[in-house]
Amino acid sequence: LELVAAGTPTDYEEADAAHIFAQPAFKIQLDLGQGPGAETVWTSDLTHDYVTINADYRT
C-alpha cells in the first residue's frame, strides 16, 4: 500500500491501511532515491498496557 509518492500523500483507502496496521507485524519500505541499501529495524509494543506492566519494577 503506497501512502506517499514523491513527497505527496497518495489517495489510498483508509480501510486498507487500518487492516495492515492491525496486523501483529508488517513491513515498511522506504525508497529515498539514494541508491541501494537495506536496514532492518525491530520495534516493540508501546501501548499503555506495555508501559504500565514495565513501570512496576526497576532494572
Residue 59 has pLDDT above 70, yes or no: no
pLDDT value for 53: 81
pLDDT value for 58: 58
Q: Are 49 and 55 in contact (CB under 8 A)?
A: no
pLDDT value for 38: 86
Residues 9-48: pLDDT tens digits?
999 999 999 999 899 888 888 888 888 888 888 877 778 8
pLDDT value for 15: 94
Closest C-alpha among 29, 22, 21, 24 to residue 2: 29
